[in-house]
Amino acid sequence: MFNYARDHQPCIIFMDEIDAIGGRRFSEGTSADREIQRTLMELLNQMDGFDSLGQVKIIMATNRPDTLDPALLRPGRLDRKIEIPLPNEQARLEILKIHAGPIAKHGEIDYEAVVKLSDGFNGADLRNVCTEAGLFAIRAEREYVIQEDFMKAVRKVADNKKLESKLDYKPV
């Protein structure tokens, strides 16, 4: 990938969920953990081979910046850190409407009521609300969703998020 990028400059390499390979290293672990550490070492090696003023740029994204290896964050490897905050209520409403658009619906859907229960949700969470609403409709043997499906779905996603937040993600 890095050689391809060098050969096809200007180029941007986008690595999503970098925490999957860029997490803090530790001395003990499984063979899979050691493989991830080798992958991280190679990534660091490749990043060190880029000229900061060159025409190949690397963009990385993560939901878990607290778990990243300090070597990855060293100056000269990642020049800027940009935080994109969670959407506000109006933005969540627009995102929900986008994801709900293609879904077959029956009756009026009060998106505002759904959004009121979605504080702290990101775009993926709102997409999950729509998916769950569809699953509630399928379980009810309907080919369309109704308001109650959305309300049950937003509560389910919120409950799942509460469970996730209880997980202990402290650095090793």
* SS3 assignment, position 27: coil
* SS3 assignment, position 58: strand
User: Domain locations in the chain?
Assistant: 2-67, 89-166
The one-letter amino acid code at 82 reads I
**The whole model's pTM is what?**
0.67
pLDDT tens across 5-28, in order?
A: 888 889 998 989 888 776 665 555
Superfamily of domain 2-67: P-loop containing nucleotide triphosphate hydrolases (3.40.50.300)
Cα separation of 55 and 93, whole Å? 38
For the chain, the maximum distance between any two Cα atoms, rounded to a whole number of angstroms, is 58
Class of domain 89-166: mainly alpha
- Nearest Cα residue to 9 out of 58, 55, 47, 48: 55
Beta pairing partners, 11: 56
Residue 133, pLDDT > 80, answer yes
Q: Which residues, 6+ apart, have CB-to-CB distance to 62 below 8 Å?
A: 17, 18, 19, 22, 68
At 172, is the pLDDT very low, low, confident or very high (cuts 50, 70, 90)? very low
Whether 46 and 22 have beta carbons less than 8 Å apart is answered as: no
* pLDDT on residue 64: 79
Whether 121 and 85 have beta carbons less than 8 Å apart is answered as: no
At 98, is the pLDDT very low, low, confident or very high (cuts 50, 70, 90)? very high
What is the rounded average pLDDT of the residues 60-83? Answer: 81
Rg of the Cα atoms in the chain: 21
Distances (CA, A) of 111 to 58, 65, 96, 119, 129: 38, 32, 7, 13, 11
Phi and psi torsions of 16, nearest 5°: -85, 155
The one-letter amino acid code at 99 reads H
* Dihedral over Cα of 149, 154, 158, 164: its sign: positive
